[in-house]
Homo-oligomer: A and B are copies of this chain.
Amino acid sequence: MTDIRRLAEHLNISIGTVSRALNNRPGVHPETRSRVLQAATELGYVANASGRSLRRGATNTIGFVIETGSPANQAGDNFFYIVTDAMHESLAERGYDLVILPCHSADDPVEYLARLVARGIVDALVITATRVQDQRIALLAKSAMPFLTLGRSETPGEYPWIDLDFHDVARRSVAELVALGHRRIAVALPEKDVNLGQHYRSGYLAGLQAAGLPVDPDLILRVATSEEGGYDFGRQLAALPHRPTAALLCSEATTVGLYGALRNNGIAPGTDVSIITFRENPQLRFLDPAPACFRTSLPELGQEMARAVLDLLGNNGDQARRNHKLWPMTFVPGASVAPPGS
């Protein structure tokens, strides 16, 4: 709670010198500097953030926006905690802090962002769960706030993104199943405006085409990204007159629900219907049969995101806005996949 003035008085020197010493500015006698640093530690002095930001015109803080009201965020495991943990650590090495900015259910995400930008509490923003047409991106692109999106979008403009390679995951999943003899493969897609669904769908279609398989619209379903959504998907598959022998999930959150629905309808996951889900996580590992899925290092993803954001704030910010990164994932076989009719 001490301010810089009291610290200076305590040391009998001017606040200017104290400030220079604390901020590693040149032109301070080494002995003075060490006295200042020691006194700061003793008195628990930390610069007041408002004063510093006001003067510097920057907060040295990155905001990571999460819509806490979204069912997709309330389901599943704590993807974001792992990503932000690593991202935060990388940012800290460069003197930046990270805060998670939750946008609550009753608030409008676009207005929330507009307020954030104007209030100036962060130097850059990360937004997640991008839509095909995303007003948040349109807003940010018009503003002067540097931002990174986790997920692509068809919203026009030049902005940096990092995205998991949903296309390749889906394509690869189909290929794995086809190699075992599957020919009727269902897929659960999210709501239409969720951008990852576009890519997952295109990968699925590419996989079918590569195998010379026809597209059956009955096998392409849209469900909520939640346990309930997975259950829905399973029920709908069970009700199909000509049941598929395999199913793909573009979100691991739906896996448990799908297993439950199949079992409740007398269908054995893995035996009657092969399943490949999206991202490996600890919960999946103990499901029976263990689901085939895709692995990636979330800490590495967080580090990459930190790098991308820091690039935006560096000297080559303009160039950094053209940074695009497709994040690869590797297939993890599982007992949930078997030849059809086995």
Assess whether B92 is in contact with A107, with CB atoms less than 8 Å apart: yes
Instruction: Produce 1/0 per residue, A94-121, CB < 8 A to B.
Output: 0000111110111100000011011111
Assess whether A85 is in contact with B69, with CB atoms less than 8 Å apart: yes
Residue in B54, B143, B228 whose CB lies within 8 Å of A282: B228
- The distance in angstroms between the C-alpha atoms of A44 and B144, with both chains bound, is 13
- The distance in angstroms between the C-alpha atoms of A261 and B288, with both chains bound, is 11
Instruction: Produce 1/0 per residue, A2-34, CB < 8 A to B.
Output: 000000000000000000000000000000000
| A 40-94 contacts with B by CB, 8 A | 44-51, 53-54, 59, 66, 68-69, 73-78, 81-82, 84-86, 88-89, 92
Residue in B66, B121, B231 whose CB lies within 8 Å of A49: B121
In the complex, A226 has a CB within 8 A of chain B:
yes
Identical subunits present: 2
With a cutoff of 8 Å between Cβ atoms, the chain B residues found around residue A286 in the complex are: 227, 230-231, 256-257, 259-261
Q: What range describes how many residues of A lie at the interface?
A: 35 or more
Assess whether A54 is in contact with B44, with CB atoms less than 8 Å apart: no
Residue in B104, B226, B283 whose CB lies within 8 Å of A92: B104
Instruction: Produce 1/0 per residue, A180-195, CB < 8 A to B.
Output: 0000000000000000
CB nearest neighbor in B for A71: B282
CB nearest neighbor in B for A227: B282
Give the residue among A78, A82, A89, A106 with the most B Cβ atoms within 10 A. A78
Given the interface pairs A92-B106, A99-B99, A259-B286, the reply to whether A76 lies near B75 with Cβ below 8 Å is no
| A 214-263 contacts with B by CB, 8 A | 226-228, 230-231, 256-257, 259-261, 263
